[in-house]
A and B are shown apart, each in its own frame.
Chain A
Amino acid sequence: MSTTDRVWEVFRQEDEGDPMVHAGNVNAPDEELAMHYAREFYGRRGESHRLWIVARDAVTELDDPDLLKPPFDRSHKKPGGYIIKHKLEAAKQRAASEAGE
């Protein structure tokens, strides 16, 4: 059996509307048994509302550090990349002094 086994990644949803979360994986020779095994491993205790069973070799993987961890400073692409705390304080002071005039 083991020579024909494939790995299937299993995602589960706890309740309708919840995100699908990676649960783990199972070995199975084909989609049909993968479904049975996914049910036994990730659904038999009533803990799942829905399962997605995906052949691992159907997953497109991206793990290239040049694309995912670029060498240049990318802090301006993050919400915290702009330090605006002191600008905000200056603006508040300006507003207060204008109101006091």
Chain B
Amino acid sequence: MTELDAATRDALAELLLTVADDEFIIGFWDSEWTGIAPMLEEDVATSSIAQDEIGHARALYDLLAEVTGDDADRIAYGREPDAYRHAALLNHARGDWAFSVARRYLYETADGVRLEALARSAHEPLAQLAAKMRREETYHLLHADAWLRRLSDGGTDVRERLADAFRRLWPDAQQVFAPLAGEEALQAAGILPEPMAALHAAWVTRVRPALEPIAGPLVEAAPSAEGRTARTDDFRWLHGEFTMVARGDEVAALW
């Protein structure tokens, strides 16, 4: 591949960081179910899927580190909370099982649309990684979809919890497709084959008919420029958890 100019390289770095942070943070939130999922088998399945997502993040951080000459571990664990670029959807704490299922469903469907596009990227290493990730994400989506159908048939209380979670998460879910600062450069280079706005429209067309029978009419919501920068106390807590070991010296001082 030809040498990228500085603006395109920065834009590629931003794209990789957003996808990596999404995978990393959903992986950590879902790993919060380890030991307390509804049944033993589901505990293993949820934990394994969470681990898969962190594995995807690892591969993406490696790719990013090659582009920027940085170190994957430092990128993953060495930033302050405000420097993370995951979508607002992943700012919320784990919640109850229905909430986690609703979020996984929203994320997996959005991620699926995004990966389908990235698999056609002109940046060959990214296209290859996206194609590999899709093979695993297909199974993740089947799992989330299986639970969505079970909970929506699971009686009034369960269905209401699921509907509440969808209504609450819907605006923040749009932010998976928040516009990127360097999007025009990425499109010009063929790195991002379609604009985020087009991916967003494709996703909404796909999920709205599946969700409205459960959650009722969903508000019109759009991706926003702040969709990946606003951080919450929930996330600040999680950040403290997942950086604890990396901040080894600090922890050692407590012992």
Contacts and interface: CB of A to CB of B under 8 A. Distances in A.
A89 interface: no
Interface in A1-57: 1-2, 5, 26-29, 32-33, 36-37, 39-41, 44
Contacts of A32: 146
Interface in B28-67: 38-42, 44-45, 48
Contacts of A39: 139
B142 interface: yes
Chain B contact residues: helix, strand, loop or mixed: helix
A44 B150 CA distance: 23
Give the bracket for the number of chain B residues in contact with chain A.
Answer: 10 to 19
Interface residues of A, number: 15
Contacts of B42: 33, 37
A34 to B, nearest CB: 9
B120 interface: no
B40 A36 contact: no
Contacts of B150: 29, 33
A36 B45 contact: yes
Name, among A1, A32, A40, A41, the residue most crowded by chain B CB atoms within 10 Å (CB to CB). Answer: A40
Contacts of A44: 48
A64 B44 CA distance: 37
B18 to A, nearest CB: 28
Contacts of B40: 27
B15 to A, nearest CB: 29
Given A2-B39, A37-B41, A39-B139, 7 more contacts: A1-B39, A5-B39, A29-B150, A33-B41, A37-B45, A41-B41, A41-B44
Interface of A: 1-2, 5, 26-29, 32-33, 36-37, 39-41, 44
The 10 closest A-B pairs by CB, nearest first: A37-B41, A40-B45, A40-B44, A40-B48, A26-B41, A32-B146, A36-B143, A1-B39, A1-B38, A44-B48
